[in-house]
């Protein structure tokens, strides 16, 4: 009877996790779903017993006439012990179960692949040991990965729903989170800390690939420096997150103005003046975003300054790329 019930609960557990939860990308995700499913099922059973019992007693012991006498009952020790001890056992079980999973989640594995992930308004930048910078996070499958988080400006929060992990990125200190992805594929990374106007677009992908593909990707990315200048610029445009605010394929405005077919034309500023969209204009806009605000855009500009964050060569590559958008 008891084992039958346990089996039925486990089956229901799978159904709960399969229906309401995102894909399980790690073993920890499966464990969390099992615990969560157990909590939901226990809550439903308790609710049914409580509400069902209440309705049953309300009907059975309803006062039927003016002199309908009901026995005066003060208490029942056996019942009271039962309904205290059984929930206590369930609560302690949930506590122990949760503690074991949480302990595993918070104990950083030794020999993990370390990736530095920096959050900023409004993008994630991953940095690998060999110097590769990427706006998407690429990791090998079945390997412990430790994400070392930092923030360049405000509080952000690194959240991978499919892995059931979430960790704040706090300015002025490092935080860390780890996972071991068991499934190949692409998973979403969200920011779950309201961090400004484009908080909701602070999204990137976490790609889980085979170890061989990962090694290949690292080498290809590290050879970006050998690419033609405009292609290199296109790369930086992605990895430095310019792309999260500036459109390049058409004139549609994202957070910032579109850069499509702007080169060489006159650009109207918020004070009504006109400037030519050339090398110096783009350069100044990247390094001193407040100096050049296009007409119709928020003042002060939400764009962070890239002063000191881009080398002259990187700056030139980005400018060359924007030139080619005509």
Q: Kindly list the residues in this chain that would bind ligand CUA in the complex (CB under 6 A).
A: 119, 122, 156, 191, 193-195, 199, 202
CB of 193 to ligand CUA, least distance (A): 5
Closest CB to ligand CUA among residues 51, 194: 194
Closest CB to ligand CUA among residues 12, 170: 170
Closest CB to ligand CUA among residues 156, 164: 156
CB of 258 to ligand CUA, least distance (A): 23
Q: Are strands 137-140 and 204-209 parallel, antiparallel or unpaired?
A: parallel
CB of 151 to ligand CUA, least distance (A): 8
CB of 191 to ligand CUA, least distance (A): 3
Closest CB to ligand CUA among residues 53, 171: 171
**Tokens for 84?**
């205290």
CB of 244 to ligand CUA, least distance (A): 11
Q: Which residues of 124-145 are buried (b: 16+ CB within 10 A; e: fewer)?
A: bbbbbeeebbbbbbbbbbebbb
CB of 116 to ligand CUA, least distance (A): 17
111, 104 Cβ separation under 8 angstroms: no
CB of 97 to ligand CUA, least distance (A): 31
Closest CB to ligand CUA among residues 147, 325: 147
Closest CB to ligand CUA among residues 115, 191: 191
Closest CB to ligand CUA among residues 26, 157: 157
CB of 34 to ligand CUA, least distance (A): 30
Closest CB to ligand CUA among residues 122, 217: 122
- Residues composing the chain: 326
Phi-psi region of 185 (alpha: psi -120 to 50; beta: other; left: phi over 0): left
127, 167 Cβ separation under 8 angstroms: no
Closest CB to ligand CUA among residues 122, 214: 122
CB of 26 to ligand CUA, least distance (A): 23
């Amino acid at each position: 009877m008891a084992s039958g019930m346990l089996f039925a609960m486990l089956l229901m557990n799978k159904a709960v996790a399969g229906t309401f939860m995102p894909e399980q990308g790690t073993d920890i995700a499966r464990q969390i779903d099992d615990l969560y499913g157990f909590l939901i099922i226990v809550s439903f059973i308790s609710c049914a017993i409580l509400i069902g019992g209440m309705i049953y007693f309300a009907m059975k012991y309803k006062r039927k006439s003016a002199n309908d006498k009901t026995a005066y009952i003060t208490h029942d020790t056996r019942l009271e012990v039962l309904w205290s001890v059984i929930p206590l056992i369930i609560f302690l079980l949930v506590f122990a179960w949760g503690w074991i999973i949480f302990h595993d989640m918070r104990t950083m594995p030794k020999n993990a692949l370390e990736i530095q992930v920096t959050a900023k308004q409004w993008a994630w930048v991953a940095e690998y040991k060999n110097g590769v910078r990427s706006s998407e996070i690429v990791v090998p499958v079945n390997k412990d990965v430790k994400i070392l988080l930092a923030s360049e400006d405000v509080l952000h929060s690194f959240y991978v729903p499919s892995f059931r992990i979430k960790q704040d990125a706090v300015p002025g200190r490092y935080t860390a989170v780890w996972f071991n992805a068991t499934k190949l594929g692409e998973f979403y990374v969200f920011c779950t800390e309201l961090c400004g106007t484009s908080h909701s677009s602070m999204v990137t992908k976490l790609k889980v690939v085979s170890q061989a593909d990962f090694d290949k990707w690292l080498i290809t990315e590290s050879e970006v420096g050998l690419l033609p200048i405009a292609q290199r610029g296109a790369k930086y445009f992605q990895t430095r997150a310019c792309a999260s605010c500036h459109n390049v394929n058409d004139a549609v405005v994202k957070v910032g103005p579109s850069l499509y077919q702007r080169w060489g034309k006159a650009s109207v500023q918020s004070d009504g003046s006109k400037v030519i969209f050339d090398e110096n204009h783009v350069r100044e806009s990247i390094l001193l975003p407040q100096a050049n605000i296009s007409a119709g855009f928020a003042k002060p500009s939400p764009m962070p300054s890239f002063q000191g964050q881009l080398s002259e060569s990187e700056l030139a590559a980005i400018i060359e790329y924007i030139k080619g958008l005509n």
